[in-house]
Structure 1
Amino acid sequence: MSQDPDYYRTVSLKLSEVFNDIGVNEILILKTRRMFLLMETMNTSTARLQGKNISTFHFGSQSEGSTTLGLHSDTDTLISLNEFNLIQDWSEWQPGRNNLLMIQDETTSPGYCLLQCLSKDEPLPLPTALLDHLPNREFTVSRGKVLLKNRLLRDTAAAGQVINGPAESLQGRPGYYDEDFVPAYHCKSWPVEARPWLLQQGIGRWPTEDMKRYCETTGCFAVPVSSKNGRNEELEWRISTSQAERCLMFSLNITQLRCYILMKMILKTFINPQCDGVLSSFMCKTVLFHCIQNTHSNNWVKSNLLACLMCCLTVLQNFVRKENCPHFVIPENNLMAGRISPHNKHEIVEILKNILQGEGRALLEILTDNLGRRLQVKMNMGEALQYYLTPAQINAHISAEQLLDIANSVSINHKGLLEEIQHNGNAMVHVRLSDYMLTLTRMYNREMGLNSLRKSAVRLLAPLLSSSLGSVIASHNIYTTRSISPEALDLFSVGLNSDVASGRLKLASALYCVGDMERAEFVLRNTEEKYDLNTVEPECTCYEHPKYYLRQGFKHKCNTGNEEVIQHTTAFCVRFLQCEICCVPEELQYEMFRSTQEERLERNEMVDYWLDWAVVDSLPYLYFLQYKTYGSFQRVADQQCALANLVTTIETEQNLGHKETALNLLGQCMEQENRHADALRCYMISLNIRARNNAANFLICRLLYEVVNMQGPALN
């Protein structure tokens, strides 16, 4: 086959077609990057609302769009802790701040530094005598300097998290990608070691001068991990230029990205399983950067993909032979130092040699994303298999995952803001939520572009907070005047389009509790009309639970737009703080008191704080409120229809986050129907789902007491 003079061109074009089919195309990549940048902006904005001086960054393959469904790349999140002023020069010292000086000496490895603590009052080192008053877990004295240790993370890892280098890793969660959280300190100035890179110019004239100028403005991070061969295991911090590297990745064309993905597939298929995983995707990225810098830019076209891959694999092979992969920005930092044993070195060189000599035949053996079989079909070497996902299905699946990530981020940030204020009294919650809304409004007005990420983040966060604030005010109104003020109704109105249902259900719930049944029924009917059962996905982040399937209608809708689509395709769970209790029907109020004193002592308050709220999925709550509202009108047929819909939802909707709460509401409806055996059955099923911290424990006791003391039919 390689006798064909057009062999490389033909294979390259067919490979490019395969990549387009499996979702590695310009449109999806740009969409992916926007989604991750939006989540960054949302998380950082929420932290600012909470008064936390941190910034969130998403780096790595997922945020770059340099992965595929089959690679199962993890998500890398860097948390920049901004309480320290990290400096490289004494002129950057700031009075009143916690200043840390990045220092390098004969003991530090290239690309690594020590962090020396400085005085807040004057630009001088912190006296070593002060260490007597500081916890030794964080600081130590070495060679007359007070240095910050890099082991903070290891001492504070939460339950269920694994320490992986500098990261806390969440691994093995069904339905979730693995996620690495890396803490870091940011330095505004460009690393001293990387300054020569700003002056270099390769054959490819890449990176451009504009890109380098931008990279210089991003500064660097100090990440808490030492080098493999470092002499200061507890004291070295890695110098990271992740923001600059992301700029470089975002500048790549589609062929360069596909070449990088192919290298990762080769690593996963042929090298790492046999060689203890010693080569990393970051090494592949570094190889790619070196190749782009040292080749003419017109080489990187779709018809030349295979030749570009061979070039990269040749460079990787040379790096392995020399056991030296120079960091692209700080070349003195050898990414392979101390990583490759003689046996693995020989194995890797031989594997790469065989792949290079085979001129790409090895690609036919790649199982990831069925790449090998898809290429065979494109080359007329095999028959198409019907069970492959089509390009349209893959594009829709990727878009759906991205939009779920955005919805997930909105829900998590809303939950985090409520956590911050949950134990305050009604008046203080009112003040804090009002402050949040005012700050978001200012953020929105400061942004000039209509499509700016910050404006989009505010548009997603503000409606949920507005509904919460409206409900807090309405609860106080109902308690004091048995009415709902115009202010509360205006806030409910702003929150109506947070998603398909939750904002409307907060309003309907308040109207029901104040006795305005006609308006409550109107809002509920409007909500039911908007809730397309073939499209809308429930979205709950109160605790981790996998989604079992995604509706085809949801996938189709997600393929048609960006983040605004979640307002029409997702239904957040409905959350009520205890200070909103007057907006909560009696049947749902029990959820606020679901934990016994013993259970409360055993809870992990880092994650279980929401158990003190009333939280319910939108769809079952819609049908429950309809059941109650139609009952007040004595519209028996409509009431029984709502009850049947509630039963069907609980039985058939697999993605509910609070099925036990829905069962508790259903059980109480059954009690009102005098179907006591069915009510008990609901409570027992609820307990099978969540045995502890479940209001069903109380509801069963109440039910049995009433049945024992009633004159009517008993349980049977």
Structure 2
Amino acid sequence: MQIPEHFTELSIRMSEALDDSGADKETVLERRRTYLLRELIEKIGRQLEGGNVECFHFGSQSEGTTTPGLQSDIDFLSSFKTYNIMTVWEDWKASMVNLLMLRDDTIPPQQYLLQVIQEDTPEPETSLISDMYVAKDTGQVLFSAERLKQSYEYLFKVRNGGDATRNGPSVSFVPNWDIVHAFHVLKPLPEIQHWIDRCRGRPWPSVHLLEAARVAPCFLVPAGHPDSDYKREEWRLSPNLIERMLMFSFNMTQIKCYILFKLIKKSLFAKIVGESITSFHCKTIMFYTIERTPPSLWCEHNLMFLLLLCLHVLKRWLRLGRLPHYIIEGVNLFDGKLSKSLQKRLFVYIDSLIRDNLQDVFYINIDNIGCRLQACSMRYIVQAGELRGVCLRHSIRLLLRFEGCEMLVVRLIELQHRQLSSHTTFEQDLKYVIYKFYKNSTNVILKSAAIEWIKDLYALHISIQGTSYLRLQNVLDSENIRRVQYSLNSDVASSRLKFASMLYCGGHLRAAVRVLKDVEGRYHSNVKTVCGCKKMQGDRDLTVFANMLSGNTDNEFSKHFTFCVKLFRQESYCTPFILLFEMNRNISEEEVAQRNIIEKQWMDTAEVDARPFLHYLQYLTYGGLGERGNQLNALRFLESYIGDERSWIHMHHAETSINLLGTLL
């Protein structure tokens, strides 16, 4: 196929436009790193709760194949390892829920039924002993996909009083998340082996990738075929991990081509067929195109020509009326998604798009791609309020760090609440946690996830030890203080403020002043708060993170973010007196019953925003030293901060801050 002459220049400009939209290599890798770390943090959290569960972030976020304008959902899958999925009878295991994969000529490709096998003997279950079970007309007892999804909907409604959102196999209670509960399939499957055999001898996928795919688990997700007689009971086989391996093997030109394909899908195709073409359709087209294209072609200056090849592949499948699944044979991805009439309409549009040499890419409105391409000097033309280039990329990376740490805070709150309300001592639990982390830290990424947990738990452990010293009227010695210092660099302020509070309560007022001055020096005007309890409207806007940079592109977390200061009842002797009232909010059982799970987790704690707590501690400390002028200055700063509307986006516990101010007036 002849490459149009102007495509080389257009390819370079498109590549630069995608870079400026957050599809550059550094941002792609940061997005991957963040979501893989989040995946491991969630896995560790579930294991500490006693669950035998694997957790995964699949889709464009963990692949790094998205931009802010695409507004991609977060795909999350959790897989139960307490269930044994059998492919043959020899796979049966005692004392487990055994489910045998069934399919025959009446069941569509990729779909399976799960027959329940008894736990104490390798014989079929005959009784409906669980709400998840249904009886087939043959008498076989099946584990129902629909019943599982209904159970999660009901559980969410009971716990939170709201309705979950369904989307295919997903039952989600979090906006913009697709949450799927699935089963691991650890045994080799003929569908996967057939694909591996088909791919052998090709430049892509590589031999190493195929070998890894051979041993990678697949998943059974609760989704039936739309035309099946058993669609409520059926489970769909999903090779998500293999697809992730394929995506991670993409070079940057392939990633940009895929992102551009999705931009066209959302901006141009949507006008013809709505949302009937999905990102998975685009991904499948990319797989077929890469497989059949010489690797040497995948260079930046060929980007538009490569996109043209992808459109030709899609056009061919539209003409045939079927888009085969790349891995699992016999599956038509147009079924239930794209009707015959919509296929014809899309075919006509793509044919026109190809004949016009892709001129419609100038009308892509997402991420201002069209405007950037049309600008004569695209690097220097800035629209009002638009973030561009380096500023946008660093803002995205800060946002990723923020959301990752926010998730860690939420999981820590759950763990700390459970540990500190348990009958065992916190020290015992901490040893168990560290052992779990050590056991699971088999590679660099796992070690990073473990360190994030240990760092915060160790800081809490030291603080509780400090309160024990003060409760026994012991003096904090140099060893106590030295151990506290290990946890001071986790963020801008919160760890140092807890240290200052410990020093103040222990009578070390001069030392407390030095720590508070250090915090004040670090606390520039654009420090952002990370809170696990409350979300503020607009606090995820990329302009917020752009303002935080203030000409400095360093996105190191500890220089830009602070956690809220959380004080447990076990830390009461390190807590200023007025905050002890915050730890006694569960007045009656009736009141407790009205709170949801998240609210119950912080009823027994005092939680305050870092900046107001800084000035409050300054007021107390200077007062203790008799320095009235400095004390009044601290009061003025506290009043000014709480009264300034610009501060509200950083205040997650405004009522507590106002209470602190009220005690001083």
Give the TM-score taking structure 1 as reference length: 0.85
Return closer, same or farther for 1:605/1:140 CA change in 2, 3 Å cut-off: farther
> What code does the residue aligned with 2:392 have?
I
Unaligned ranges ≥5, structure 1: 173-177, 671-716
1:394 match: 392
Quick check: 1:467–1:506 contact (8 Å CA) kept in 2? Answer: no
The secondary structure found in structure 1 opposite 2:187 is coil
> What code does the residue aligned with 2:354 have?
L
Identify the match of residue 436 of structure 1 among 430, 433, 436. 433
CA–CA separation in structure 1 for the residues paired with 2:178 and 2:594:
27
Return closer, same or farther for 1:433/1:395 CA change in 2, 3 Å cut-off: same
**How far is 1:274 from its partner?**
3.6
Q: Does 1:511 align with 2:503?
A: yes
2:97 match: 98
1:12 match: 11
CA–CA separation in structure 2 for the residues paired with 1:309 and 1:225:
32
Q: Does 1:166 align with 2:169?
A: yes
Quick check: 1:11–1:306 contact (8 Å CA) kept in 2? Answer: yes
The secondary structure found in structure 2 opposite 1:231 is coil
1:692 match: none
Quick check: 1:220–1:242 contact (8 Å CA) kept in 2? Answer: yes
1:183 match: 181
Q: Does 1:206 align with 2:204?
A: yes
CA–CA separation in structure 2 for the residues paired with 1:279 and 1:4:
27
Q: Does 1:147 align with 2:138?
A: no
2:452 match: 460
The secondary structure found in structure 2 opposite 1:603 is coil
Quick check: 1:581–1:589 contact (8 Å CA) kept in 2? Answer: yes
1:638 match: 630
Q: How does 1:434-513 map to 2 (within 5 A)?
A: 434-440=431-437, 442-443=438-439, 447=442, 452-484=444-476, 489=481, 491-513=483-505
Return closer, same or farther for 1:607/1:78 CA change in 2, 3 Å cut-off: farther
> What code does the residue aligned with 2:194 have?
P
Quick check: 1:86–1:186 contact (8 Å CA) kept in 2? Answer: yes
The secondary structure found in structure 2 opposite 1:195 is helix
**How far is 1:488 from its partner?**
5.8
The secondary structure found in structure 2 opposite 1:135 is coil
Deviates more, 1:143-152 or 1:32-41: 143-152
CA–CA separation in structure 2 for the residues paired with 1:619 and 1:162:
37
1:686 match: none
2:581 match: 590
CA–CA separation in structure 1 for the residues paired with 2:57 and 2:119:
32
1:25-73 CA-to-partner distances (Å, cap 9, x unmatched) read 2222122211111111122122223322112211111111111111111
CA–CA separation in structure 2 for the residues paired with 1:481 and 1:414:
30
Quick check: 1:464–1:503 contact (8 Å CA) kept in 2? Answer: no
Identify the match of residue 292 of structure 2 among 284, 294, 316. 294
Q: How does 1:235-274 map to 2 (within 5 A)?
A: 235-274=233-272
1:499-542 CA-to-partner distances (Å, cap 9, x unmatched) read 222222222222322333233333322322333334x2211121
- Relative contact order, higher structure (CA 8 A, sep 6+): 2
CA–CA separation in structure 2 for the residues paired with 1:4 and 1:141:
57
1:702 match: none
Quick check: 2:533–2:598 contact (8 Å CA) kept in 1? Answer: no
1:155-195 CA-to-partner distances (Å, cap 9, x unmatched) read 323225312121133565xxxxx121111111223432221
**How far is 1:111 from its partner?**
0.8
**How far is 1:211 from its partner?**
0.3
Q: Does 1:550 align with 2:544?
A: yes
Return closer, same or farther for 1:233/1:528 CA change in 2, 3 Å cut-off: same
The secondary structure found in structure 2 opposite 1:471 is helix
Quick check: 2:134–2:143 contact (8 Å CA) kept in 1? Answer: yes
Quick check: 2:152–2:171 contact (8 Å CA) kept in 1? Answer: no
Q: Does 1:567 align with 2:558?
A: yes
**How far is 1:244 from its partner?**
0.7
1:328 match: 326
Quick check: 2:200–2:207 contact (8 Å CA) kept in 1? Answer: no
CA–CA separation in structure 2 for the residues paired with 1:505 and 1:556:
25
> What code does the residue aligned with 1:180 have?
D
Q: Does 1:647 align with 2:643?
A: no
2:58 match: 59
Return closer, same or farther for 1:160/1:520 CA change in 2, 3 Å cut-off: farther
CA–CA separation in structure 1 for the residues paired with 2:552 and 2:325:
38
CA–CA separation in structure 1 for the residues paired with 2:378 and 2:5:
17
2:84 match: 85
Quick check: 2:163–2:173 contact (8 Å CA) kept in 1? Answer: yes
The secondary structure found in structure 2 opposite 1:22 is helix
**Aligned-pair identity (%):** 30
Return closer, same or farther for 1:488/1:240 CA change in 2, 3 Å cut-off: farther
**How far is 1:287 from its partner?**
0.8
1:567-612 CA-to-partner distances (Å, cap 9, x unmatched) read 3321111112223223222211121223543432211125542233
CA–CA separation in structure 2 for the residues paired with 1:180 and 1:645:
44
Quick check: 1:218–1:243 contact (8 Å CA) kept in 2? Answer: yes
2:653 match: 658
Quick check: 2:567–2:605 contact (8 Å CA) kept in 1? Answer: yes
Return closer, same or farther for 1:275/1:218 CA change in 2, 3 Å cut-off: same
Q: Does 1:532 align with 2:528?
A: no
Quick check: 2:192–2:214 contact (8 Å CA) kept in 1? Answer: no
Return closer, same or farther for 1:551/1:272 CA change in 2, 3 Å cut-off: closer
CA–CA separation in structure 1 for the residues paired with 2:663 and 2:378:
63
2:159 match: none
Quick check: 2:395–2:545 contact (8 Å CA) kept in 1? Answer: no
CA–CA separation in structure 2 for the residues paired with 1:382 and 1:213:
44
CA–CA separation in structure 2 for the residues paired with 1:385 and 1:517:
52
Q: How does 1:679-698 map to 2 (within 5 A)?
A: none
> What code does the residue aligned with 2:14 have?
L
Identify the match of residue 613 of structure 2 among 577, 600, 621. 621
CA–CA separation in structure 1 for the residues paired with 2:402 and 2:71:
17
2:317 match: 319
> What code does the residue aligned with 1:662 have?
S
Give aligned pairs, total. 648
1:404-434 CA-to-partner distances (Å, cap 9, x unmatched) read 1222122122112113224235x63343234
Unaligned ranges ≥5, structure 2: 157-161
**How far is 1:615 from its partner?**
0.9
**How far is 1:250 from its partner?**
0.7
Quick check: 1:623–1:643 contact (8 Å CA) kept in 2? Answer: yes
The secondary structure found in structure 2 opposite 1:128 is coil
Quick check: 2:3–2:305 contact (8 Å CA) kept in 1? Answer: no
Q: Does 1:578 align with 2:556?
A: no
The secondary structure found in structure 2 opposite 1:287 is helix
Quick check: 2:321–2:340 contact (8 Å CA) kept in 1? Answer: no
Deviates more, 1:602-611 or 1:207-216: 602-611
CA–CA separation in structure 1 for the residues paired with 2:183 and 2:417:
26
Quick check: 1:326–1:332 contact (8 Å CA) kept in 2? Answer: yes
Return closer, same or farther for 1:558/1:272 CA change in 2, 3 Å cut-off: farther
**How far is 1:486 from its partner?**
7.6
The secondary structure found in structure 2 opposite 1:272 is helix
